[in-house]
Amino acid sequence: MRRALGKWDLTALGIGAIIGAGIFASTGSAIAGGADHVGAGPAIVVSFGLTALACGFAALCYAEFAAMVPVAGSAYTYAYAALGELVAWIIGWDLIIEYAIGNVAVAVSWSSYFTGLLDIFGLHLPTWLTTDYRSTV
């Protein structure tokens, strides 16, 4: 395959992968708080700054790994090259579980947005269909 992604394309892809969809799901409750925690209020900017710094360090680590092991495979390949097959196997399964749980969180978040959009048009879904996973426990 021909490599068609440029410097800016890869930078945007990396930022999107690092930030993820959690920023859309948790910003409101992080600012306002809830029954079980106090909100950050205007200090959310500091929280985002510290988180961006930590994510930047993680991105630099991945960039260093990619330069040392220039093959496809993500964390599995890097662990295989550095720590061996057992650790790579554990990390591979960890990634599968991580992506599965992350997809559930994104689906719950975006379904909440979609339910709100339907409410604007006067369409109401049954409560049992719109209850999130945290409320069902």
In total, the chain counts a number of residues equal to: 137
Would the pLDDT of 85 be above 90?
yes
Domain count, the chain: 2
Does 29 or 83 have the greater pLDDT score? 83
Beta-bridge partner residues of 33:
38
Would the pLDDT of 114 be above 50?
yes
User: Residue 75 contacts by C-beta under 8 Å, 6 or more apart in sequence?
Assistant: 91, 95
Are 40 and 97 contained in the same domain?
no
Q: What is the mean pLDDT of residues 71-82?
A: 85
Are 3 and 64 contained in the same domain?
yes
Are 99 and 51 contained in the same domain?
no
Beta-bridge partner residues of 38:
33
Are 56 and 88 contained in the same domain?
no
Domain range enclosing 99 = 71-137
Last residue of a domain, one of 68, 95, 110: 68
Are 55 and 108 contained in the same domain?
no
Q: Which H or E run contains 78?
A: helix 74-83
User: Residue 91 contacts by C-beta under 8 Å, 6 or more apart in sequence?
Assistant: 75, 76, 79
Are 137 and 115 contained in the same domain?
yes
DSSP string, 29-69: HHHHB-SSSB--GGGHHHHHHHHHHHHHHHHHHHHHHHHHS
What pTM does this model have?
A: 0.62
Are 62 and 105 contained in the same domain?
no
Are 85 and 124 contained in the same domain?
yes
* Dist. CA 79–CA 91, nearest whole Å: 7
Q: What is the CA radius of gyration of the chain?
A: 19
- How high is the mean pLDDT of the chain? 82
List, for residues 58-76, the tens digit of each pLDDT value.
888 888 888 888 888 788 8
